Amino acid sequence: MQANRYAKAQEICNNIFAGDSLQNLGPGNLCNLSLLFINLAEISQTEEENTAKATICIRQAYKCDSDSTMAFIRNLNIEDQSKLSLISALGKATERTTAENGDTIFYDDSSNHEINDGF
């Protein structure tokens, strides 16, 4: 992505994500893939799709090895830490909502939103 080859980066990330080995990537690779999707979301026309994929990757990283995932995030620069922490909070909120309501995720349009991700 350094050379502004976003379309190729998007294609590679999508291919990795669609592959059968997503659960076998390990926490570090899943965190990197999540971070790539977040960065692609910032510059692409598919912000929601890339954000959803980033969330799935970080959730899988925590399932794989939560301690390694947290250590990976702590070792990033502050900007990337913030990005993955936000996606982690989104993933945790999605898991809680799904667990409480089955397979349906409801959108709360109230003006008082509070995120408590446990960090």
Angle ∠(79,98,18) on CA atoms, nearest 5: 65
What would the pLDDT profile of 82-102 be if each residue is shown by its tens digit? 999 989 888 777 666 555 555
- What residues contact residue 106 under an 8 Å CB cut-off, 6+ apart? 97
Q: Which two tokens stand for residue 55?
A: 């969330």
The residue among 64, 63, 35 whose CA lies nearest residue 50 is 35
What would the pLDDT profile of 56-75 be if each residue is shown by its tens digit? 999 999 999 999 999 999 99
Instruction: Give the global pTM.
Output: 0.74
Residue 111 is predicted with a pLDDT of 39
What would the pLDDT profile of 26-66 be if each residue is shown by its tens digit? 999 999 999 999 999 998 888 899 999 999 999 999 999 99
Angle ∠(9,13,15) on CA atoms, nearest 5: 120
Q: How many other CB atoms are there within 10 angstroms of residue 51's CB atom?
A: 19
